[in-house]
Structure 1
Amino acid sequence: MPVFERFTAAGGGESPGTPVYLAARSGVPLVELEVLLAAGGEHNPEQRPGLAAMTASMIDEGTARRSGPQLSAELERRGGTLSCHADWNAARLRLHLLSSDLEYGLELLAELLFEPAFPEHELARLRQQTLAELKRRADQPAALADEAFAFHLHAGTVFAHPLAGTPAALQALRREELLDFHRQHYRLDRGSLVVAGDIDPRRLAAAIAAAFPAGGAPIGSPAAAAMSGPGALAASSGSQRIVIVDRPGAEQTELRIGHAGVPRRHPDRVGLGVLNTLLGGKFTSRINLNLRERHGFTYGASSRFVDRKSRGPFVVSTAVTTSATGRATAEVLGELVRLRSEPVPAAELEATRNYLLGVFPYGLQTVEGLAARLDEIALYDLPLDTPARYLAEVARLQPEDLARLAETYLFPESALIVAVGPAEELRRELQELGEPEMWSSPQAIA
C-alpha cells in the first residue's frame, strides 16, 4: 500500500497556506503535478452554464509571458504533457514531466495559475469548437439521454445544464466574465497541490516555496464558496416519472433509469460501491446478465453512483431494441426491487468482493494512478489512509449490510425513466408504467 503524505506550504500574509498531497515513488523518473481548485461547474452563475469549463480550457492558451503554441512547443521538447480542465467538482491544472523537471513544472503551474492571458482570439476559437460539439451531441441518442436525465433530475440547479454550457450562454460569454471567474475562484488558498512520483519531500517543499513565494496567497476577492457544493438533488420520493425524447425511425432506445444518490463523503459510500458493482458495475453484474445474456435486449448495461461533493445521481444506462423498451425497463426496475426484497447470496457477494479487491491494486501501479487517488482524497477531504480503509470496508461487508443499503438507497418506485427513441412506439412500450412527458433538448443549434 503506498504511503500518502500531507503538509502545508507556508502562506503569505493572512493566507493559511496550501495543502500539499504527496505520494513518493522511486524507480521511474516521472512526476505528476496538479493544482486542484474549487472552480468546477458547481460554481457556474445561474445565467452562465459553461463558464467554469471555458475558463479552465483557456488557462493553457497563453500567459502574460508565453503564447499557447510556445507553451506546447516547450513542453514537447521536455517530453511533458499539460491539461487544464474542469468537471462539476473542481478545476485542474495537471502536468506530467520527468522528475528532473520538478522545479520547472511548479514554476509553470504558478505562471498558468496567476498569469493567464485569456486571449480573445483563442476564446473565439474555443467558443466555436464547443458550439460545434454541442451540436454534434444533440444528434447522439446517448448524449441526449444523459442530458435529459440531468435536466429533469437536477431541475432548478446548475447541474441541470451541460457542463460545457448551452448555445445561448456560450454565445453571450465575454472575456471579462472569464477574468472575473478566474479572479474569484483560481485561488490556491482554496485549493491543493497534488504531487506523485519520484520526488524527495524536502526537494518538493523547497521547489514549492520558490515557485509560490507567497504560499499561493489569494489573488482578487474571496470566492463565494470553497470546496463544497450546493445542494443538487431533492429527496427521492413520490411516483415514477417517464420522459421521452423523440428520435423518429430509431431502432434502439437509449434508457436512463435512476434517482438521487449520496455525496462522496457519505459513510455508506463504499458499501454502495459494492452494491452497485453487484448490480451493474461489472460484466457479470445482475443487470448486464439479465438484459444482455438472458433476454438479448442489449449489448451492455451498467449502473453507477456518480461521485460529487453534493448528492450525485444513481443511474442505470443501457441501449435496447426499441420493441423491448417496456420489458427492459421492467427488468431493470425488477432488479432494484429484488435487491431490496431478497438477501444477496453469500457466494455472489464473495465473487463481487474478490473482483473489487483484485482490481484495486492496478489503480496504484502508475504515477497517474497514485495522483488520481490523491486527487480524490484532496477533493473530498478524505483521510490519507482512505485506500486501506476502502479495502477493510469491502472485506467487512456482509449480505445483511447490502440488504440495509438497498432498502435505504434504492428507490425503484420513484425512479426517473428517460427513453430516447421513436416517441409513438415508446408511448406504447411504457404506457403501463404511467403517462410519459415529451422533452426536446434546448441545446440543438440551427
Structure 2
Amino acid sequence: MTFKHTLLGLSLLGLSASGFAQTLDRSKLPADAPAPQIKIGKPETFTLPNGLKVFVVENHKLPRVAVNLVLDRDPLFEGDIAGVSSFAGQLIRNGTKTRTKEQLDEEIDFIGADISTSPTNVSGRSLSKNVGKLFELMSDVVLNPAFPQAELDKLKKQTKSGLASQKDNPNAIATKVANVVMFGKNHPYGEQMTEETVDKVTMADVKSYYNTYFRPNIGYLAVVGDITAAQAKTLVEKAFGGWQRADVPKPTYPAPASIGKTRIALVDRPSSVQSVISVVYPVALKPYSQETILASVMNDILGGSEARLFNNLREKHGYTYGAYSNLSGDRLIGRFRASASVRNAVTDSSVAEIMNELKSISTMPVTAAELKQTKNAFGGNFIFTLEDPQTVANFAINTARYNLPTDFFPNYLKYVDAITEADVASAGKQFIRPENAIIVVVGKASEIADKLKRFGDIEYFDTKGNPVAAPQAAKAIPVGLNAQQVIDKYITAIGGKEALMKIQDMSMQMSTEVQGTPVKMSRLDKAPNKSVMAVTVMGNEMMKMVSDGQQAARIVRGNKTALSGKDADQQLVQDGLFPELYYAANKVTSTLDGTEKVDGKDTFKVKNTTANGHTWTDFFDATTGLKTQTMSMQKGPQGEVAQIISYGDYKAVNGVLIPYQIKQPMGPMTLTLSVDKVEVNKGLKDTDFSVN
C-alpha cells in the first residue's frame, strides 16, 4: 500500500469511528449476533447390493481421507459371557487370514495410517495418496479376521487384571452399582463383565458374535476428505462388495422399573475417608432431537464445568474438588447422573446440596448470563469439532441412522440460540426428578449411614451390586486392652520376639500384572531400618525407595528425590524390618483407636505417630492377632485419600509368618502382589542400601 492509500484508509477509519462513537449507548449490552449458518458438506450417497449404506463427503482442503464404518445393532445382553462383544471388537484388529497382527501393524504404519476397531465400529485414516491401501487393509480387517487364540487369551488376561484393579476403586464401584440399581442385572445397561464371565468366553462365542453382527445390511460407511465420489464408490465396491448380508437379531428388553420414591443404595467401604455420591435414574430421552439439545443446555447449566453444582459444593461450601451432572439420550433408555466425591463428615450435607440444586433448576430462574455462557460454550465446542473430518462423517451416518431432517446438524446452533430461560425451566421440570432418584453412596457406613436416613430408605449392596444385609458394628474394645497389648499379640502370632530378632536381613521377590503386563517388585530389608523397594516393568526399573537407616530417597525413572520429615519417617520408621520391634527406639506413639470390620472380621485399629507427625493406622485381626491392613493418608489431586495395603496368606519362613499376598495401591489401581520367593539372613551388605 502506498503512503497516499494509507492516509486515505486512516481517514475513512476515523470517520467510521467518529460516527460510531456518536451513536453508541454504553448503558446497554450489545445485542447478540444471530447464530451463524453452519455449512456442512452434503454427502453423495449410494447403497451396495449387500445393503451397506455409503456416504461420501468431499473435502479437498487437506490431502487426507477418513473412513468410518458403524454397525447399527441394538444393545445386547450377553449374560454369563459378558465381555464377548468387546473381545470380538478388539480381535478383528489383531490379525487376519492373510496378515499376522505384526504384519498388519507394519503395513498400517508404513503408509502413516491408523485403523481402530470396536464391537460396532471400524475406522481408519490415511493420506489421500494411500487411500487405496487403507481400503485394502480395512477390508481385510472386516472380512477376514483370523481370531488367533493366543490373542484372545492375552485379552482375557489383560481384562481380568483391569477388573481386579477396579475392585477397590470407589468410583468404579459407584458406577457399577448405579447401573445395577437403575436397570437391573438382566438389562444390557445393568449387566456386568466379571472375571467369571471373562473366563467363560470361548473363541466359538467370539466368532458367533462376529458372524451374527458384522453384516453389511446394518452398516453405515462414511468416506470423508480428499476423494471424489466416483473414486470412493470404486474403492468401496472393491473392498466391501463381497461382504455377505444376513438377518441380524433385534432383541427387546422391558423398561427399567420406575423409581417410586427417593432411596439410598449404600456400599459399605470401611476404609474410606471419602464418600462417592451418585444421584441416578433412567430417563426417557431419545438422541438427536431439539428436545435433546434443550436437555443438554439445561444440564450444562446445572452440572457443567463451573456450573451450579460445582459452584455450590466446591466454591460455596468447600465440600469437594468437583461436582457435575450428566444427562444422556439413548435409543433404548437414557440416564441422569449427578456426582461428587466428598469427605465423610460432609456426606449428608453434600447430598442435601445436590438435591437442592436438582430441585432449583426448574424453580430458580436461569439468569441471562448463565444461559449466554452455556450457549457460547456449546457454539464454540460445536464449531471446534467441525475441524475433524470424522465429525462430518458421523453427522452423515447419524442423520441416516436416526432418520433426522437433513438440516438437523447445519441448524444445530440455531436450535441452541433459540433456547430461552423459560425453556430451561421447562426442561428442568421434565427431566430432573430428585423425588424419583436413587442416591448411590460408596463410603464408610459406620460414619455416614445414620445421617443419610433423612433422604430415604437405605438399602445395602456389595461392590458387585448384590443386595446385602446392613453391616454389623464391630465389637467394643475389651476393658483394659491397650495398643501395646495388641502389638505384642501380633508379634507373638507371627513367631515371637526371639524368632524375629534372629532374622537380620530379608530378601523378597513379588510379582503381579497390570493389564497383562508383568510387573516385578523386590524388597531388601536389614535390621533395624535399612530397606530397598524397587518396581520393574518389562525389565525397566520404574521406581525405587531406599533408606540407609539415617536417610531416605525416592528414585523415579532415574530421578532421585531426598526425603525428609514425614516422608522420610515412612521409609525409616514404618517400612523397616518388623518395625513394631523398634517403635520405642524410634519414638513412635501408638494408641488403640477403636475397632472396625475388615472383610467381615473384627479388627483392632492401632494409630501410630512419629515425632515428625507422620501417622498411619494398622488393623489387627481380633481373633488371630495378625495384621490385615495398613492405612495412611496421602495427598492426591482431590485432597487427602486413604492408601491401604492389605496382607494375607501368611506362611512360615524360618519360624516367622510372612504375608505371601499383598495388595498395594499404585496410582488409581490396586495391585495384588504374590510373593514368589523369600530368603533370610543372606548377609546383605550396608552398601546394598546406599542412598547416595
TM-score relative to the length of structure 2: 0.59
Shift of 1:306: 2.5
Look up the match of 1:278.
Answer: 301
Q: Does 1:72 align with 2:114?
A: no
SS, match of residue 93 in structure 2: helix
Instruction: Tell me, yes or no, if the aligned pair for 1:304 and 1:315 is still in contact at 8 Å.
Output: yes
Deviations 1:291-334 (A, max 9, x none): 11111111111111224321121111221122111111111111
Shift of 1:205: 1.1
Quick one: which amino acid aligns to residue 26 of structure 1? H
Shift of 1:287: 0.7
Look up the match of 1:160.
Answer: 190
Query: 1-side partners of 2:448 and 2:400: how far apart?
Result: 44
Instruction: Tell me, yes or no, if the aligned pair for 2:72 and 2:220 is still in contact at 8 Å.
Output: no
Structure 1 residues 223, 97: CA separation in 2 closer, same or farther (over 3 Å shift)? Answer: same
Give 2:230's match in structure 1, choosing from 168, 187, 202: 202
Look up the match of 2:54.
Answer: 20
Q: Does 1:344 align with 2:366?
A: yes
Query: 2-side partners of 1:317 and 1:59: how far apart?
Result: 36
Look up the match of 2:148.
Answer: 119
Deviations 1:220-272 (A, max 9, x none): x42212xxx74575365410121112222222211111211212145511110
Deviations 1:2-57 (A, max 9, x none): 2141512321xxx4x321233332222222212111357x2243332212111101
Deviations 1:396-427 (A, max 9, x none): 11122112211111110011111111121220
Look up the match of 2:463.
Answer: 441
Shift of 1:69: 1.2
Structure 1 residues 198, 116: CA separation in 2 closer, same or farther (over 3 Å shift)? Answer: same
SS, match of residue 407 in structure 1: helix
Structure 1 residues 320, 22: CA separation in 2 closer, same or farther (over 3 Å shift)? Answer: farther
Give 1:9's match in structure 2, choosing from 40, 44, 47: 47
Q: Does 1:178 align with 2:206?
A: yes
Query: 1-side partners of 2:330 and 2:109: how far apart?
Result: 34
Quick one: which amino acid aligns to residue 266 of structure 2? I
Give 1:148's match in structure 2, choosing from 177, 182, 197: 177
Look up the match of 2:446.
Answer: 424
Percent identity, please.
26
Quick one: which amino acid aligns to residue 224 of structure 2? A
Query: 2-side partners of 1:328 and 1:77: how far apart?
Result: 54
Instruction: Tell me, yes or no, if the aligned pair for 2:325 and 2:339 is still in contact at 8 Å.
Output: yes
Query: 2-side partners of 1:379 and 1:19: how far apart?
Result: 10
Look up the match of 1:101.
Answer: 130
Query: 1-side partners of 2:72 and 2:384: how far apart?
Result: 29
Query: 1-side partners of 2:450 and 2:289: how far apart?
Result: 40
Query: 1-side partners of 2:198 and 2:104: how far apart?
Result: 26
Query: 2-side partners of 1:4 and 1:295: how far apart?
Result: 50
Shift of 1:389: 2.5
Structure 1 residues 267, 387: CA separation in 2 closer, same or farther (over 3 Å shift)? Answer: closer
Shift of 1:152: 0.9
Quick one: which amino acid aligns to residue 256 of structure 2? A
SS, match of residue 344 in structure 1: coil
TM-score relative to the length of structure 1: 0.90
Structure 1 residues 197, 230: CA separation in 2 closer, same or farther (over 3 Å shift)? Answer: farther
Query: 1-side partners of 2:202 and 2:401: how far apart?
Result: 29
Shift of 1:185: 0.5
Which structure has the larger Rg? 2
Quick one: which amino acid aligns to residue 332 of structure 1? I
Query: 2-side partners of 1:241 and 1:375: how far apart?
Result: 40
Shift of 1:376: 4.2
Q: How many residues align?
A: 428
Q: Does 1:138 align with 2:167?
A: yes
Shift of 1:93: 1.0
Query: 1-side partners of 2:436 and 2:93: how far apart?
Result: 44
Look up the match of 2:10.
Answer: none
Quick one: which amino acid aligns to residue 153 of structure 1? M
Q: Does 1:55 align with 2:88?
A: yes
Give 1:403's match in structure 2, choosing from 422, 425, 431: 425
Q: Which has the higher contact order (CA 8 A, sep 6+)?
A: 1
Q: Does 1:324 align with 2:351?
A: no
Structure 1 residues 111, 259: CA separation in 2 closer, same or farther (over 3 Å shift)? Answer: same
Structure 1 residues 130, 311: CA separation in 2 closer, same or farther (over 3 Å shift)? Answer: same
Structure 1 residues 150, 184: CA separation in 2 closer, same or farther (over 3 Å shift)? Answer: same
Shift of 1:378: 5.0
Instruction: Tell me, yes or no, if the aligned pair for 2:40 and 2:410 is still in contact at 8 Å.
Output: no
- Which has the larger displacement, 248-257 or 172-181? 248-257
Instruction: Tell me, yes or no, if the aligned pair for 2:222 and 2:394 is still in contact at 8 Å.
Output: no
Instruction: Tell me, yes or no, if the aligned pair for 2:222 and 2:397 is still in contact at 8 Å.
Output: yes
SS, match of residue 158 in structure 1: coil
Structure 1 residues 350, 442: CA separation in 2 closer, same or farther (over 3 Å shift)? Answer: closer
Query: 1-side partners of 2:157 and 2:174: how far apart?
Result: 24
Query: Residues 353-372 of structure 1 correspond to what in structure 2 (within 5 A)?
Result: 353-372=375-394
- Which has the larger displacement, 235-244 or 109-118? 235-244
Query: 2-side partners of 1:232 and 1:71: how far apart?
Result: 42
SS, match of residue 36 in structure 1: strand
Look up the match of 1:34.
Answer: 68
Structure 1 residues 21, 445: CA separation in 2 closer, same or farther (over 3 Å shift)? Answer: farther
Structure 1 residues 342, 154: CA separation in 2 closer, same or farther (over 3 Å shift)? Answer: same
Look up the match of 2:116.
Answer: 83
Point out where structure 2 has 5 or more consecutive residues left out of the alignment: 1-38, 466-669, 673-692
Shift of 1:193: 0.5
Give 1:394's match in structure 2, choosing from 386, 409, 416: 416
Point out where structure 1 has 5 or more consecutive residues left out of the alignment: none
Query: 1-side partners of 2:64 and 2:281: how far apart?
Result: 41
Quick one: which amino acid aligns to residue 80 of structure 1? A
